[in-house]
């Protein structure tokens, strides 16, 4: 009996022409994470525009690309910061997020920071498992007006 071979996920920089696909993944992830994450205050068109004109212009956008499926996870890096980390809701619990975080840590030996919502207990546990510690809490100093937490990591 033959077994079906799964192509490995390729970690690579996203191309500008993939901004819509990256924004679509971000939207799917954010919507699936409600209520742990509050709903986005931006409509889908705003998110698409933001990724195409701001995120891709100022940041490194890394993706995990699964042959035959497409982009299954994304991470946006700025020097010393993980700005976004999202996995397709249909692909969670497969180590994709861990692979991205490990990659970011290897690229940033001086340390990393990131924000997540205090209500997102799953993300908080995930980052703590990867050596991040909570270093600051806010009462909602963000667009959504929701309490968040800044995590830091250093070797």
**Mean pLDDT per 10-residue run, the chain (155 residues)?**
65 98 97 94 97 98 94 97 98 96 97 98 98 97 95 95
Structural domains in the chain (count): 1
- 41 found inside a domain: yes
Instruction: Give the strand pairing for 9-13 and 70-78.
Output: unpaired
- 87 found inside a domain: yes
Distance CA 63, CA 1 (A): 34
- 121 found inside a domain: yes
Specify the CATH number for the domain of residue 134.
Answer: 3.40.630.30
- 3 found inside a domain: no
- 4 found inside a domain: no
For the full predicted model, state whether its pTM sits above 0.75: yes
Distance CA 74, CA 62 (A): 6
Q: Which domain holds residue 46?
A: 9-153
């Amino acid at each position: 009996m033959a077994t079906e071979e799964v192509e490995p996920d390729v970690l690579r920089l996203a191309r500008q022409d993939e901004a819509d696909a990256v924004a679509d993944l971000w939207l799917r992830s954010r919507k699936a994470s409600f209520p742990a994450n509050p709903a986005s205050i931006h409509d889908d068109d705003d998110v698409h525009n933001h990724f195409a004109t701001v995120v891709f212009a100022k940041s490194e956008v890394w993706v995990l690309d699964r042959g035959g499926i497409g982009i299954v996870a994304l991470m946006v890096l700025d020097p010393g910061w993980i700005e976004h980390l999202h996995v397709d809701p249909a692909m969670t619990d497969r180590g994709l997020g861990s692979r991205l975080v490990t990659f970011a840590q290897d690229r940033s030996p001086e340390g990393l920071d990131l924000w997540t919502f205090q209500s997102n207990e799953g993300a908080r546990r995930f980052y703590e498992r990867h050596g991040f510690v909570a270093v600051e809490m806010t009462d909602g100093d963000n667009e959504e007006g929701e309490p968040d937490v800044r995590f830091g990591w250093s070797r």
